[in-house]
Every structure is written in C-alpha cells, then in structure tokens.
Amino acid sequence: MCLSRFLICGLFLLCFFSNLKSQETDDAIFIKNIYNKVLQDGSAYQWLNHLTTQIGGRLSGSPQAAEAVDYTRAMLDSLGLDSVWLQPCEVPHWVRGEKEEVHILIPAANINLPALALGNSVATPPSGITAEIIEVRSLDEVEKLGAKNIKGKIVFFNRPMDPTQIRTFNAYGGAVDQRVNGPSEAARYGAVATLVRSMTTLHDDHPHTGVMVNKEGINKIPAVAISTNAAEMLHKMLLEKKVTIYMKTNCQTLDPVQSYNVIGEIKGSTYPDEIILVGGHLDSWDVGQGAHDDGAGCVHAMEVIRTLKELNYQPKRTLRCVLFMNEENGLAGGLAYAEAANKKGEMHLAAVESDAGGFTPRGFSCDAENEVFADLYLKLQQWLPLLEPYGLMLTKGGSGADISPLKSQRGLLVGFRPDSQRYFDYHHTATDTFEAVNQRELELGAASITALIYLIDKHGL
C-alpha cells in the first residue's frame, strides 16, 4: 500500500514538473518569437521618426501636441484593435515666447549664458531684470540666509547631480527639488528671479528646462535654467567678487486647452475585466523633438500591441495601450485616466510605463500598495529565468508618473528601466532628437516590454 502511494506520488510529481518544463519551453519560444518579430519587422523606429521629425516638440496645449494625438490615434486605428478612442483631459498651456537672455554684466563686455526658462515660469518685465546674484546649494540654505540677504537679488541654485550614483535617476531625484521648488522658496524671501543649474551630470553648453511649481500665496518670479558649463563659470566668478546678472524672459501662461489621452485596446478572452496597461506620455518639452522623453515610451507601448496582434496572440486579459498627455507640467492625462477608471470600477492587474528613454534595456522596477506588493513581486520573480537571457532584471522601486494614480487599485505598477547613463545628457534639452535614439536599442526595449506583458497576461498575478 505504501509502495503504491509512493509510486502514485512520484508519477504525479513527474507529470507536474514535466508540464512545468513544457510550459517554460513554450514561453521561451514565444518570447524568442517576440524579439524576432520586433527586431526584424518592427514599426517603433518609423513611428518615432514621424513623431519627432515631422511633428517635433509637443508641449501640452500646443498645435504639435494636438497633431501628435491625431497621428498616434491613426496609427493605433491601423492595427485592427478592438477599440481606439480619445479620452479628454484639460491641460495647462504655457508658452516660452521669444528666446531667453541671460548675461553676466562686466565692464568690458557682457558674457552670455546658455539659458532656458523653466516650465510655468513667469516673464520678466519688458525691460528685463538686473540684480546682484547670490549662490546657494539647497532650499535650507535659502531659509537660513533669509530676507535680509536675499531680498532684491537673483538666487542661483547650484547643487550638482551626484556623480557617484550609479543609477542616474537617483542623482536626479537628489537634485531636482531646487528646480521644482527653488523659485518659490527664493521668492518667499524677496528674490526677484532665480537661476538653476541644469539637471545633468554632463558638463556642456546645453541648458535643460523642466517644470517648476508656483506655490499659492507666494509672489511668482522668473526662473531660468543655465547650462552646467555656465554654472561652473558663474560659481568661480562668485568666489572672487560680486556678480550682477541681466535676464529677460518672455513666458506666458494662457488659458487651459482641451486635449486627450490616446487609447487602444484588445479585449481579453478569459478575464476581460482585468486590464494590463502599457503606456508612455505623448507630450514633451518644446525645445527638442521629445525623442527619448517620451516619444520612445509611446512607440514602445504601441509596438507591444502591434507585435502581439501580428503574432496572432489572443490575450486572456484586456491589453490597453495608453498615450498620456501632460506628464511634463501637470500630469493631467494620468489623473484624468485614473479618475475615469475608478469611476467605471475598472481593475488594472498591472500597468507598465516606459518613460526613461530608448536606451539598452536593463529590466523593470516594481511598485504596489504595501499589503499586496510582496505577493505580486514574488510572482514576477518566477519569470526571471525567461527574462535573464535578454539581460533583464527585476528590482523594487518606482514605476511611472502617469500610472502612479492607479496605485490604489492594488495592482502591480512597473517602470521599464533601460540603461540610464546617457538619459540626462538629453533630458529636457534641444538635443533630445530622433538622431539621439539608436534603432536597435529602441526595438530591444519594445521587445522586452512585450515579453513581460505576455507573461503577466498568460499566467496572471
């Protein structure tokens, strides 16, 4: 009797592991087919070419942003999806105006500094602003100096991104508070304007724009980013003497504009109420072509849907591609999407966002509500043997700004993580162009995201 039970148990385990091995083999073959399809017959690079070179920078509220909505909707329509639609969202409409001017005033001649106004900045008076400059490294230093030392001056925030951080997004996170909140903090103590060192580890002459927040109840002042080389030069001059700056900006905030998220989906065959989202943000800053940030993410998301459709894969769960509007200076698209989803009672099993450029894939970082994260992350780790041959790892961490409002739905939030070393060379600059994106790296990213989406859909969480 015991021997019979032992044999039955042995046969059961043999069948179980045999089926498991067969399943893993099937998954490995399909993932290889995904990579083959994208690398041999992908559309992402072609889409990106049109989005960047034919449309260009897509600042929220601009004609280019509206054109990008029409173009990507047409491309999704051409894929034969179950449904494609536009989701309304009201977006801010900030415009840069004429080229910024920033000069160091010296007796012999003025020194021009490469500069870009920060998003949401106000303009200077028509005659510009001339004032002495004072350098700080932190928001705390502004508070310590107080109105006595700051009133009537231009505050220069000059804290570099930490070059010792291997993941450059960590370095960015450690420095960007001075760009986002610095102008309002300086205004609190009577500053007339601010200069901010560009957010990059690279020393060059390309200024990096980005959003700043005007806090309620605090006077709005002009805020401008200068290049890292300019910041270094200004710092050295300030060590020797007082420096006076002239600056002129021409920014305006116009009335909000009606815009849209672009959405396409394939309905699930077995669990249609479980949604797996893949997305990027369609808007970009106005000074470049928005290639890495975030044209790459948008075409990644579109390519996921196209590839699975081309491979005749019938998803068990609803696969939804979402191209969000207004991530850069307001997050209107992400907030509108989450609000609509919650009102409908939708459940997002997983949401994957690509918003870190079109560089070589390194893996994915994961986030969720604390009480469900451990189980979801453990499930995901079971697929590492299928992802590691493609150089992909899984880590704990953030996901993406646009999908973060979905966290309360208790699904898994995932951020695509390509190599980050060059990302902030281009981020928010005039050099973020189509030519800066390598076709193979872009396509490897699309294939990697598709592989993860496939595994989540087939096996669930």
**Contact (CB, 8 A) for 191 and 153:** yes
Average pLDDT of span 294-322 = 98
Average pLDDT of span 73-82 = 98
Q: Is residue 448 part of a domain?
A: yes
In the numeric block, which tokens belong to residue 386? 């299928």
Q: Is residue 419 part of a domain?
A: yes
Statement: residue 6 has pLDDT above 60 = no
Q: pLDDT, tens digit, for every residue of 56-77? A: 999 999 999 999 999 999 999 9
Q: Are residues 305 and 206 in the same domain?
A: no
Domain-terminating residue out of 232, 250, 268: 250
Average pLDDT of span 125-134 = 98
**Contact (CB, 8 A) for 146 and 184:** no
Q: Are residues 74 and 102 in the same domain?
A: no
What is the crossing angle of helices 439-459 and 2-41, to 10°? 150
Q: Are residues 240 and 259 in the same domain?
A: no
Question: What pLDDT is recorded for position 13?
Answer: 46
Average pLDDT of span 298-309 = 98
Question: What pLDDT is recorded for position 17?
Answer: 47
> Per residue in 234-271, is it b (16+ CB within 10 Å) or e — as a string?
beebeeeeebebbbbbbbebeeebebbbbbbbbebeeb
- How many C-beta neighbours within 10 Å does residue 293 have? 27
Domain-terminating residue out of 202, 232, 250: 250
Q: Are residues 230 and 334 in the same domain?
A: no
Q: Is residue 20 part of a domain?
A: no
CATH classification at residue 315: 3.40.630.10
Q: Are residues 311 and 390 in the same domain?
A: yes
Q: Is residue 227 part of a domain?
A: yes
Q: pLDDT, tens digit, for every residue of 228-267? A: 999 999 999 999 999 999 999 999 999 999 999 999 999 9
Q: Is residue 21 part of a domain?
A: no
> How confident is the prediction for the chain on average, in pLDDT?
95
Domain-terminating residue out of 209, 229, 250: 250
Q: Are residues 228 and 295 in the same domain?
A: no
CATH classification at residue 172: 3.50.30.30
Question: What pLDDT is recorded for position 184?
Answer: 98
Single pTM value for the model: 0.94
Statement: residue 1 has pLDDT above 70 = no
Q: Are residues 233 and 141 in the same domain?
A: yes
Task: Please indicate whether residue 363 or residue 106 has the higher confidence score (pLDDT).
Answer: 363
Q: Are residues 244 and 302 in the same domain?
A: no
Q: Which helix (H) or strand (E) holds 274?
A: strand 271-281
Q: Is residue 284 part of a domain?
A: yes
Q: pLDDT, tens digit, for every residue of 22-44? A: 667 899 999 999 999 999 999 99
Statement: residue 151 has pLDDT above 60 = yes
Active site (catalytic) residues:
327
Q: pLDDT, tens digit, for every residue of 12-24? A: 545 544 554 666 7
- When divided into structural domains, the chain yields a total of 2
Q: Are residues 215 and 143 in the same domain?
A: yes
Average pLDDT of span 332-348 = 98
DSSP, collapsed to helix, strand or coil, labels residue 217 as: coil
Q: In terms of residue numbers, what domain contains 314? A: 32-94+255-459
Question: What's the CA gap between 223 and 215, in Å, rounded?
Answer: 13
Q: Is residue 10 part of a domain?
A: no
Q: Are residues 299 and 372 in the same domain?
A: yes
Q: pLDDT, tens digit, for every residue of 416-426? A: 999 999 999 99
Q: Are residues 311 and 433 in the same domain?
A: yes
Q: Are residues 153 and 128 in the same domain?
A: yes
Q: Is residue 24 part of a domain?
A: no
